[in-house]
Structure 1
Amino acid sequence: MKINLVKVGVIPMSKYWYVYCPDGVESRFELLVFSKNQPFLPLTEHYHDCIGRISKSSALSYVQCLLPFFTWLDQFSNYQRKRVRWNDSPDIVRLAIEDYLMNEMACKVRENDTFRFVNRTNKSPNTVNRFLSALKSFYKSLIRLKQYNYSNPLIDSYAILNDYKSNTEGVRKDKPRMPAEAGTEDATSHRRLTDSYFKLINEEWQPEIIGDIHLPYQVYQAGKKVNWSLREVVIARMLFETGARASEVIELTIGDYRSRKSFQEASTFNKGSHGKRVKFLRFSKDTVKLLMQYINKERKQFDALQRKFDNLPDEAPIFLTEIGTPFSREAWYYHQ
């Protein structure tokens, strides 16, 4: 029986594409990647290895991000006058990736000891970070599936080794670290730098404005249909009006609101500030009214001491769950 496959993931000028398994056809693969009209199992296996570890949409996003790279490998890569293959040694693969970042993604790549710094330019796409993550994930999968016989080209093994040494070597030469209780050793670091070989040095996410003036109204209407409480309404309004990350709004405290002179502002942390309040949010007067209504009425019901705004301590969270615990970003996702 001949099966007609419709190319659903085709990128212009790409030799690689993916298709979903047609209904009624039994296969262990729900998605197949093709190259030159033949199944390309490395990317196919990677997609299915990702399922269960990450969402299907993220796994598909990785595949879509890698299709142009594999096409480029076949058509334009060059190492000693030969095309680079995905299963070449890490040093060769890294050279190809570096060429791709510079020539296809318009990045600046700078050497630094055992790894590379990657700096995006104004010509670089906003998918550089995702591309590197996808490629790192691809090699993790193929190593796990025993189809790539080297170490992961996207991982800086020296960073892992140096991190291990710094946390195991003591001040005494050739002696192990003393226990922390001894008080003779410097504290170990529990926060290490990324182990990626290609390190983005300007990877801070930049918000993109959605050009739909009706979006907030549509979100509020959807919230009304599912019986949002006043808490969800206030959070949604603050997110739309400030452009802040969800955690920067949800984890606000009473003290964050009191610390600003304007009743339309609240201090908050930023990504990388480790909880230190380094910026402030500004919202509308209508949102202020709803916020105070929430604190003095709805929130009061769930506060263990039934306190209103004036009686709450600075460290008290603004937003509470129905059982009186601090509201969290994870809990907010349930209401989206």
Structure 2
Amino acid sequence: MTEFYYYQQKRISESSALSYLITLERFFSWLVKSSNYKGTQVNWFDNHMAIRAAVEDYLIYQMGCKLRSKENFQYVIMTKKSPQTINHFLAAIKSFYKTAVHLKLYGFQNPLVDANYNISMGSFNSRSMRYNKPRLPKIAGTEIPSNSSYRSQSDSYFKLVANDWKPNIIADIDLPYIIYRAGSEVRWSLRDEVIIRLLFETGARINEILELTIGDYRQRVNQYEIATLNKGSEKRRIKFLRFSQDTLKLLIRYINGERKMYAHEKNSFIKLSDNEVIFLTRRGNPYNYNAFYSQWSKIITHAKLKMNIHKTRHWFVTNMIRNIYDTSSDSAEVERKKHELINYMKWKDPETIKVYEHYFNEALFREVHENMAKKMQEYEQEYFKFPHDRELNTMQNEKSLDSLLAAENIEWINEFYKEME
């Protein structure tokens, strides 16, 4: 696992490598305690058939999934008991054995890969390619389109079914303050206070905050904004974060105080160079995910919560949408503000916001339904209090309707009634 971790650090972000490591540690611990293949315990270096059997048991008994067998692979079906981390687990274990095979630490094929995939795809490709000739445009209709279904298939032995991403809806308005209080009680550093406040106020990912530099702040004209990278932006600062006046005061106090104590370059904010990283460890090195995660875990445990760092982002979006609906005067203003939020979050798929909106649509329906139920209760009490008067009113209303229809002689209504019969 150490070899895997250092190998992956060069290829993916440190936070992703660490999260893979934590997921693998759980699986391999279970492997030692509870695995069984043909009457014996499974070791991580056993043949691929034994590892597949162990992964199947882990998915079923530990992660609450159902499996459907196909000829050369398995469909993994999530249930209500399954956590939302199934895809992450499958990606981690597949990456581990891919690395182990590459480093010659594992002597069998990757258990998480369908060995027959390339063969079947090769025969498919041969029917859809014109060798030594340029591909004709789709309108020609002479060959299978380039976006045929085979391109969306995976070489994974375990294929997750209906893996639609669904964000967590975190509607507890008090959540940040619960964590702030817990942080204060465990005597968090000013550095960690600023970072956690930025997480809740900006909706940023943790790596977007940890990698902030002095130049990122100077790049923005507005004093309550700071430029930052975005996922997949190749370290380019293509987005910005906006925070409160109180957090800005804490940030400046941290840079000129606590940070200055541990920094190699002991300058105040004005004299620091643009490439200086804002958040540092006590050794004066850039503050990384591993170091912050240990502090975050301590605070969350003290608050008696089970919450990963990324949920601060879900909380931010949930409350931004709530505020959009609360402060908008009409539907046009709602749509404009939603568009601004999509741009701010830099979502690749604008449809992401609809999953959050679904929560608010349900909440709105509950409110409407409660009002209707309240009115029904009032009418019920009134009816049983004055039943004779209500019956007379109903009869009079029916008579007036009949006279109106007779007077108007509306043909389309007569036809409508006939259709209903």
Relative to the length of structure 1, the TM-score reads 0.53
Gap change, CA 1:164 and 1:192, over 3 Å in 2: farther
1:124 paired with 2:118, answer no
Q: Is contact 2:225-2:241 (8 Å) kept?
A: no
Q: Deviations 1:140-171 (Å, cap 9, x if unpaired)?
A: 11112111122211112323322232122369
Which stretch has the larger CA shift, 162-171 or 133-142? 162-171
Structure 2 equivalent of residue 305 of structure 1: none
Could you say what secondary structure the match of 1:157 adopts?
coil
Could you say what secondary structure the match of 1:109 adopts?
strand
Structure 1 equivalent of residue 163 of structure 2: 203
**Structure 2 Cα separation of the partners of residues 188 and 167 of structure 1:** 10
Q: Is contact 2:203-2:317 (8 Å) kept?
A: no
Structure 1 equivalent of residue 115 of structure 2: 157
**Structure 2 Cα separation of the partners of residues 188 and 198 of structure 1:** 25
Q: Deviations 1:91-143 (Å, cap 9, x if unpaired)?
A: 22111110111111111111012110111222222221111111011011111
2:153 to 193, 196, 207: 193
**Structure 2 Cα separation of the partners of residues 91 and 232 of structure 1:** 48
1:219 to 179, 185, 201: 201
**Structure 1 Cα separation of the partners of residues 11 and 74 of structure 2:** 28
Which stretch has the larger CA shift, 61-70 or 159-168? 159-168
Gap change, CA 1:102 and 1:239, over 3 Å in 2: closer
**Structure 2 Cα separation of the partners of residues 290 and 121 of structure 1:** 35
Equivalent residue letter for 1:70:
F
Q: Is contact 2:77-2:161 (8 Å) kept?
A: yes
Equivalent residue letter for 1:124:
S
Q: Deviations 1:182-233 (Å, cap 9, x if unpaired)?
A: 95432344632122111111321222123442669952699962269xx977
1:57 paired with 2:15, answer yes
Structure 2 equivalent of residue 18 of structure 1: none
Gap change, CA 1:51 and 1:181, over 3 Å in 2: same
Could you say what secondary structure the match of 2:116 adopts?
helix
Larger Rg over CA atoms: 2
Relative to the length of structure 2, the TM-score reads 0.43
**Structure 2 Cα separation of the partners of residues 116 and 189 of structure 1:** 24
1:224-239 mapped onto 2 (5 Å cutoff): 225-226=224-225
Q: CA deviation at 1:86?
A: 1.2
Bigger strand fraction = 1
**Structure 1 Cα separation of the partners of residues 52 and 336 of structure 2:** 55
2:37 to 79, 94, 99: 79
Structure 1 equivalent of residue 72 of structure 2: 114
Gap change, CA 1:170 and 1:66, over 3 Å in 2: closer
**Structure 2 Cα separation of the partners of residues 290 and 149 of structure 1:** 58
Gap change, CA 1:219 and 1:78, over 3 Å in 2: same
Q: CA deviation at 1:89?
A: 1.7
1:285 paired with 2:285, answer no
Structure 2 equivalent of residue 92 of structure 1: 50
**Structure 2 Cα separation of the partners of residues 69 and 111 of structure 1:** 22
**Structure 1 Cα separation of the partners of residues 22 and 226 of structure 2:** 37
Which stretch has the larger CA shift, 180-189 or 135-144? 180-189
Gap change, CA 1:170 and 1:55, over 3 Å in 2: closer
Q: Is contact 1:241-1:283 (8 Å) kept?
A: no
Structure 2 equivalent of residue 32 of structure 1: none
Bigger helix fraction = 2
**Structure 1 Cα separation of the partners of residues 164 and 326 of structure 2:** 24
Equivalent pairs counted in the alignment come to 218
Could you say what secondary structure the match of 1:81 adopts?
coil
**Structure 2 Cα separation of the partners of residues 283 and 196 of structure 1:** 45
Gap change, CA 1:292 and 1:111, over 3 Å in 2: closer
**Structure 2 Cα separation of the partners of residues 221 and 89 of structure 1:** 44
Identify unmatched segments of 5+ residues in structure 2. 177-196, 205-221, 228-239, 243-313, 349-421
Q: Is contact 1:170-1:176 (8 Å) kept?
A: no
Could you say what secondary structure the match of 1:148 adopts?
coil
Q: Deviations 1:212-265 (Å, cap 9, x if unpaired)?
A: 42669952699962269xx977xx99875449xxxxxxxxxxxxxxxxxxxx9x
**Structure 1 Cα separation of the partners of residues 86 and 202 of structure 2:** 34
Q: Percent identity?
A: 35
Structure 1 equivalent of residue 381 of structure 2: none
2:136 to 181, 193, 213: 181
Could you say what secondary structure the match of 1:132 adopts?
helix
RCO higher in 1 or 2 (8 Å CA, sep ≥ 6)? 2
